[in-house]
C-alpha cells in the first residue's frame, strides 16, 4: 500500500501545483477562490498520503499497482499542464472536470477498498478516505462552477 499512497501523495501535490499555475489566468474573483480551495484540499490530501506512505513525497511518480483510473487521471493532468499558457484556460479547466471525477472514482472504488482491508486502524482509515472522497466530489463541482463563472465574466 505504501506505493499507492506514495503515488497519491505525488499526484495530489502535482494537482495543487497545476491549479496554482493556472490561477493567474483566471479573471473572475470567485472562480479563483474556488480554485484556491482545490489547491488547499489537494495539498492537504498530499500530506495525508505522505503520512500513510511513511516518507517524503516522491519527486517522480512512483511505480505502483494503482489502477487504470489513477493512471488515466495522471495522464490527463500531465497533458493539460503542458497546455498552460498555450491554450485558453477555460478549455484546460474543462478537461480537468473529467480528471477530478476520475480521481473521485478511484478513491471511492479502489483506494478506499484497499485501505479498509487493513485490519489495524480500519475505522480511522475509513473516515479519512471518506473525507477525501467527499472532498473529491466537491472538487468536480467547484471546478464546474469556476468554469461557469469564468465564462460569464468574459
Mean pLDDT by 10 residues, the chain (154 residues): 78 93 96 96 93 82 66 83 94 86 62 57 75 85 95 93
Q: Using the structure block, give the residue that is written with the C-alpha cell 511518480.
A: 61
pLDDT in tens, 33-51: 999 999 999 999 999 989 9
Please give the tally of structural domains in the chain: 1
Enter the pTM of the model.
0.81
Residue 33 and residue 84 in contact, taking contact as beta carbons nearer than 8 Å: no
Q: Residue 104's domain is classified under what CATH number?
A: 1.20.1260.10
DSSP H helices in 55-121 = 68-81, 89-106, 112-117
User: Which phi and psi (to 5°) does residue 84 adopt?
Assistant: -60, 130
pLDDT in tens, 97-116: 877 777 665 665 456 556 55
Question: What one-character-per-residue DSSP string does 108-152 give?
Answer: IIIIHHHHHH-STTHHHHHHHHHHHHHHHHHHHHHHHHHHHHHHH
Range of the domain at 137: 2-152
Amino acid at each position: 500500500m505504501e506505493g499507492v499512497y506514495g503515488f497519491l501523495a505525488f499526484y495530489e501535490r502535482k494537482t495543487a501545483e497545476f491549479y496554482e499555475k493556472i490561477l493567474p489566468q483566471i479573471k473572475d474573483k470567485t472562480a479563483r477562490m474556488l480554485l484556491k480551495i482545490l489547491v488547499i484540499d489537494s495539498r492537504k490530501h498530499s500530506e495525508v498520503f505522505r503520512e500513510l506512505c511513511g516518507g517524503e513525497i516522491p519527486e517522480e511518480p512512483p511505480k505502483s499497482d494503482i489502477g487504470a483510473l489513477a493512471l488515466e487521471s495522471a495522464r490527463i493532468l500531465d497533458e493539460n499542464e503542458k497546455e498552460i499558457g498555450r491554450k485558453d484556460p477555460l478549455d484546460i479547466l474543462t478537461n480537468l472536470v473529467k480528471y477530478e471525477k476520475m480521481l473521485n472514482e478511484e478513491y471511492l472504488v479502489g483506494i478506499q477498498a484497499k485501505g479498509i482491508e487493513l485490519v489495524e486502524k480500519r475505522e480511522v482509515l475509513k473516515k479519512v478516505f471518506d473525507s477525501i472522497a467527499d472532498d473529491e466530489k466537491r472538487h468536480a463541482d467547484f471546478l464546474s462552477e469556476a468554469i461557469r463563472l469564468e465564462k460569464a465574466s468574459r
